[in-house]
Structure 1
């Protein structure tokens, strides 16, 4: 099937066409750029396939562009890339065909035809091309009815799905990622083949799996992608700890909620208000320790005491296992998981300023993210209950604002530092330094003193004497 689709009004396309004509090679825009053009999704990433050397074509195009952009060559892959001055990124490759061995998703590659190159694409919606050749310029090449699948919102492999997924198992993750990003269905045969080949995901590096997982998490309704991962069995292999949240247990007609689907609802709620990947990860992990903290009590029913602290302690290992960064992002997620129950405890009219100060002190600059997570954690189907909880959180936010304006406790640092303590008493680093520093911090948080030197230093001297320390002469 061929049809005409208007290429964007940008000189890069005419430049590529002219360079290909001079080199006497055929050239086509192919893949995701064409798909996004049909879907009217903005994109500046262009893949160009030529029947010949993609590297030679890249150099020829560069010479014809203003400012002659640098060509980055990847010899091992036979590809080259350049970036135009206004931010268009173009990758060039020669048409090729591939063959795979059972133990690797890296193919043996050889030169091929345009049909070979289209057939090796992961899905029909990505197996589209637009001609840049003189006689057929602008025509869409659609050998596998990709346009039809775009109209049907259907993810389908060009060739037999079992072969496609066995050859490159990462394509199973990509199928679910595209379904989640585009809100498409997965073709029944393609869906079944994911389940049948799920064990092949084990040959894919964790980094590549997590990259696709993060893209699912960042989609508009991430729960859709997670449900597909669960239904195909992939989630059981790539994130078994999350699967343990699934299920409902009933004792004496008392049931707890399904924490897997609750987590997905929290994730979707967060996605409605924030594109922050790490806040979304906090939503995924906020109840991760509920399975091992679950208990049944005849008087109160199901409890999950301490799941927030236990979950926070598990965050570093989960991040390490998934090859997520073990940096400030991990620490932020860990903090949000640990604190996610705290704001609701501040709802009572009798709550003290010191309790509010402590939350501000512990949450620091993440207090706004914490409140977003807490609001997202309200997943009741009872609208009156949801409304009541949200009103409660509004009261909490007012209390937080009042105390913050009065005490400026967000990321506050006590005026009494460890260095000052050691200088004052002429001591080396020791447990006494920590005891005194904590005593001053506690006094500030309890409202006994203000975080000012004139009030804090006399208290330091008093607490130091109780520990048997004597100030050195100044």
Structure 2
């Protein structure tokens, strides 16, 4: 039940402790004061980290009795902010910056009874505080969590614990996403049986686990697993109707599988944008908001197809972009996603077809500079749109798909980037025509002002006029009838 390790593991604990050095010293000093206290343990992630090398930013301390006295002493000693999480259950938190220290009373008479109520075996190990200051470094492991960590097994301690807190279902998939191993089959069966209970959990708790999964590099694999276990549609219910919806021969998958395949490609592109987009990977592309927006837009970009599907002479999905954005917004608001992120993803979803339409116009010779400029103005997230559209294309491999389509789409996006750069340079220059000039010509301020100024911008970009005088003559000739 107790595993013994050498001095190196103690040193590893101190090295992994990711607190400011002054606070780390205070924490060790605080713990040393209780080196002779029995029934006082470090538990949870900070013990697991000894074997996974995760940085320890949070500590979980479990004590048999007098937890209130202990946490109040620690609060004064460490000068942390005191948060009474659940006093009725003996759960308290100290917080400062990115770090937290949780104090809990044993759930049960013994530490073994307490650990038995945890989620997974590798989270049910206990490190006696006194072991940090003794020659023998002992870890209590009543459920073989160390063995499961080494063998890459995610194993629930009991079905009862899953029922008690169904969020543990989502936590299990999160541990899969972060490479802790495969979910043991019996545990997966618990997840399948109790999947509907997940929606009893607070939306904020569900969201936090989803965010962990979405920013991992195994989102597709994890969501695919969740889909196999029928959990994905419990969280994102509108996905259910997408199953089995056929698509035109440009595609090789039904709508639901296409959405998951697009998610897979967004991850591949994010990992290696040079290969698929011919652009360098930037810090911006590793930003959490960037990653979340492209993965969510990729996963839900065609969600509305299930609700706009028609067969007349051929399969159509008229207006599916707008419906997709509306359905995503309903789900995202329900899950408490940030408003700014929801708006960004909706923008990407609503506009994801426009680059394909513009490319088609370009290849027919009818594409205008104005149409390209309007797309750039309407979608401030051109790089994110690039990834979503390329992922959508790579995820469509039907018999009528042109083999060089991605190359043509990539070339077109690079043209858009060049135009965007040109527009930004022009915007920094002093305007040849201003609102004052239009007033002097007799125009009244209003919607027409915007239309004329945008027209002028296009004329300058197309180099049709280079002087103010020429532009003023052009405006008078074209818009004189609209003055009134």
Report TM bin, short chain.
0.7 to 0.9
Is the deviation greater in 415-424 or in 43-52?
415-424
Aligned to 1:122: 119
1:198-213 matches, within 5 Å, as 198-213=195-210
Aligned to 2:13: 8
DSSP-derived class of the 1:182 partner:
coil
Whole-Å Cα distance in 2 between the matches of residues 47 and 451 of structure 1?
69
The CA deviation at 1:193 is 1.7
Cα distance, 1:324–1:411 mapped onto 2, change above 3 Å: farther
The CA deviation at 1:309 is 3.1
The CA deviation at 1:94 is 3.1
* Mapped contact 1:62–1:82 kept (Cα < 8 A): no
Whole-Å Cα distance in 2 between the matches of residues 88 and 193 of structure 1?
33
* Mapped contact 1:155–1:186 kept (Cα < 8 A): yes
Aligned to 1:27: 40
Does residue 360 of structure 1 match 2:372? no
Does residue 265 of structure 1 match 2:264? no
Whole-Å Cα distance in 2 between the matches of residues 37 and 334 of structure 1?
42
Aligned to 2:296: 281
Whole-Å Cα distance in 2 between the matches of residues 445 and 313 of structure 1?
32
Whole-Å Cα distance in 2 between the matches of residues 319 and 82 of structure 1?
29
Aligned to 1:372: 387
Whole-Å Cα distance in 2 between the matches of residues 313 and 451 of structure 1?
44
Match of 1:76 among 75, 86, 92: 86
Aligned to 1:48: 61
Whole-Å Cα distance in 2 between the matches of residues 309 and 414 of structure 1?
37
Whole-Å Cα distance in 2 between the matches of residues 286 and 42 of structure 1?
36
Aligned to 1:92: 102
Aligned to 2:155: 156
* Mapped contact 2:46–2:60 kept (Cα < 8 A): yes
The CA deviation at 1:20 is 1.7
Whole-Å Cα distance in 2 between the matches of residues 212 and 451 of structure 1?
56
1:175-186 matches, within 5 Å, as 175-182=172-179, 184-186=181-183
The CA deviation at 1:79 is 1.2
Match of 1:326 among 336, 339, 362: 339
Structure with greater contact order relative to length (CA < 8 Å, sep ≥ 6) = 2
The CA deviation at 1:386 is 8.7
TM-score by length of 1: 0.79
TM-score by length of 2: 0.77
Aligned to 1:188: 185
The CA deviation at 1:181 is 2.5
Match of 1:237 among 234, 237, 244: 234
Q: What 5-or-longer segments of structure 2 have no aligned partner?
A: 16-23, 271-284
The CA deviation at 1:125 is 1.5
Cα distance, 1:210–1:73 mapped onto 2, change above 3 Å: closer
Does residue 466 of structure 1 match 2:481? yes
Aligned length: 438
The CA deviation at 1:140 is 1.6
* Mapped contact 2:250–2:400 kept (Cα < 8 A): no
Cα distance, 1:293–1:411 mapped onto 2, change above 3 Å: farther
Whole-Å Cα distance in 2 between the matches of residues 339 and 48 of structure 1?
50
Cα distance, 1:367–1:413 mapped onto 2, change above 3 Å: farther
Cα distance, 1:290–1:17 mapped onto 2, change above 3 Å: same
Cα distance, 1:418–1:201 mapped onto 2, change above 3 Å: farther
Whole-Å Cα distance in 1 between the matches of residues 267 and 166 of structure 2?
28
The CA deviation at 1:287 is 0.9
Whole-Å Cα distance in 2 between the matches of residues 190 and 410 of structure 1?
60
Whole-Å Cα distance in 1 between the matches of residues 263 and 246 of structure 2?
23
RMSD: 3.8
Q: What 5-or-longer segments of structure 1 have no aligned partner?
A: 98-110, 470-474
Whole-Å Cα distance in 2 between the matches of residues 254 and 453 of structure 1?
49
1:333-348 matches, within 5 Å, as 333-347=345-359, 348=362
